[in-house]
Amino acid sequence: MFNQHYRVRFAPSPTGSLHVGGARTALFNFLLSRKHKGAFVLRVEDTDLLRNTNTALAEQLRDLKWLGIDWDEGVSQFNAPDIGPFGPYRQTQRLEIYLKLAEDLVKNGKAYYVNSNEDHGAASLATPLRKAIKLKIPTNKQYEFNDLIRGPIKINTNTLDDFIIIRSNGLPVYNFSNPIDDHLMKITHVYRAEEHLYNTFKQLLVYEALNFKVPLFGHLSLILGQDKQKLSKRHGAVSCDVYREKGILPEALINYLSLLGWSPKNDLEFFKIEDLIEKFDAAGFNAAPAIFDEKKLNWFNTLHIRNLSDVALYERVIAFDNSVTLNSDKTFLIKLISVIKPVATNLEMIANLLKRFNEDLFEIKSETLLKFDITVLKIVISLWNKALSKTDNTFISESQFLQIIEEISKESRHSGKNLYQSLRIAILGTPSGLDLKKVVPLIKLESLKRRAVETLNQIDRMS
Ligand code: GLU
């Protein structure tokens, strides 16, 4: 049973893929609804026909689901028999509601028709079909509300003009349909981005004109880039799908986003969604702008990767890139994952490293070789090759490997980076930071030999 006294919503306009700022707004509302056992409504604000697309909507829904942000009412709903048939909530399917209320306002003298040439915003749309409707604004009246995050905020209507509520194409503007829906959907708390602060006053005028009870408002902190400017595409990846495609785990993104403008008021930072639901409360909101730091997100990703069991991580990796299963069985891949996990930063990196264990995919890029001193590579790898040819088990054990390393080091007089990077190239084709004493015992001797010979051939071709 939902607590009907606590109803929040996320109201995206599907103009593009899900922005990290939008995801944070959705997350905070979702967490609050779960914490208070209330309802989380998803309402699609798609009345800007020029900018909204079904593709963007589908992408946004996919990414919300990927993040684990599920809604109780909205474009698709799960079973909630105790609250009745809700949704789908798409404003384009509710146009007659807004029109009817606007016409009522005209009848009451609170709004009036204007010629379509006053509707500049609709100029680019199809031929106007009707007169636009404007809301009358009381003159010199003070409006105030107590923002749940920022405290009391005031405005005088002298800074506002009468504004269009229904455009000449019959569609409502955001500041009209948004408060109407919040009222009809019984939203109790409106948490949204700070950029809507000024809109809130226009919406208060709509609530007043329609005699609707005003919900509580909280405006979340801005999210800025490293240069302290508002986060935008200029700053690189700002949409969730880019992070999903890079192999960031949804739990890492959730964890990172939860700390942008909110804090649990202690030093703890690592949270899974269930911890957040338990700990989340509106008292932790912070009005000061938050800085988006991709490095920190990556750091959270390493933590969440390490937090998964090898089997769970295997499942994530194959869901991310199924081609890693080619010629490799599950048990083997899980063993490899246990070796890769301590150095892994994202799923893409894990998938790429797994492929390096696949005999058929072994390759060394010439650019990689060019970064190293060819003479050193040649000496170390030749000694490695020699040591392998003297061994005849199917696999090399960890202690055998350590002994070989010692011998190569003595003979070549190379140690540390020179020695290990050269061996890494001859074993995996890349100087990745995997722990070789763990990696080598997992690869068949035969394959190690072939790899070493191929590397030496490639070096010869280069020199
Ligand atoms: N459709 C608006 C947006 O995407 C919703 C703002 C609000 O939450 O009121 O910014």
- Per-residue pLDDT tens for 318-361? 999 999 998 889 999 999 999 999 999 999 999 999 999 988 88
Coil, helix or strand at residue 39:
strand
Task: Tell me the mean pLDDT in the region 137-145.
Answer: 91
Do residues 190 and 216 lie in contact, with contact meaning Cβ atoms separated by under 8 Å? yes
Contacts of residue 338, defined as CB under 8 A and 6 or more positions apart, other chains included, come to 310
Task: Give the per-residue pLDDT at 120.
Answer: 63
What is the CA(193)–ligand 1 centre distance, in A? 8
48 Cβ below 6 A of ligand 1: no
| ∠ Cα 278 188 104 (to 5°) | 160
**Do the domains 94-220 and 366-462 sit in the same CATH topology, yes or no?**
no
Query: In the predicted model, what is the mean pLDDT of the chain?
Result: 92
Amino acid 338 reads S
192 Cβ below 6 A of ligand 1: yes
Instruction: Please check the confidence at residue 108 and state whether its pLDDT lies above 90.
Output: yes
CATH number for the region 94-220 comes to 3.40.50.620
Residue with tokens 């035969």: 446
Do residues 43 and 74 lie in contact, with contact meaning Cβ atoms separated by under 8 Å? yes
pLDDT in tens, 170-200: 999 999 999 999 999 999 999 999 999 999 9
Tokens of 414: 């190379």
Task: Tell me the mean pLDDT in the region 67-86.
Answer: 68
What is the CA(90)–ligand 1 centre distance, in A? 13
Task: Give the per-residue pLDDT at 360.
Answer: 82
Report the C-alpha gap between 306 and 138 in whole angstroms: 59
What is the CA(150)–ligand 1 centre distance, in A? 18
Task: Give the per-residue pLDDT at 121.
Answer: 60
Confidence of residue 79 (pLDDT cuts 50, 70, 90): very low
Residue with tokens 């807004």: 98
Contacts of residue 5, defined as CB under 8 A and 6 or more positions apart, other chains included, come to 38, 188
47 Cβ below 6 A of ligand 1: no
Among the atoms of ligand 1, which is closest to the Cα of residue 45?
A: 1
pLDDT in tens, 41-53: 999 999 998 899 9
Do residues 425 and 377 lie in contact, with contact meaning Cβ atoms separated by under 8 Å? yes
Q: Per-domain residue ranges for the chain? A: 94-220, 308-361, 366-462
DSSP 42-103: E-B----TTT--HHHHHHHHHHHHHHT---SBSSS----GGG------BGGG-HHHHHHHHH
Residue with tokens 């990846």: 237
CATH architecture of 366-462: Orthogonal Bundle (1.10)
Report the C-alpha gap between 235 and 232 in whole angstroms: 6
CB atoms within 10 A of CB 338: 16
Tokens of 411: 């003979």
Task: Give the per-residue pLDDT at 397.
Answer: 95
Do residues 74 and 87 lie in contact, with contact meaning Cβ atoms separated by under 8 Å? yes
Coil, helix or strand at residue 224:
strand
Tokens of 80: 């909630």
Q: What percent of the chain has pLDDT over 70?
A: 95
196 Cβ below 6 A of ligand 1: yes
Tokens of 426: 């001859």
The pTM of the full predicted model, rounded to 2 decimals, is 0.91
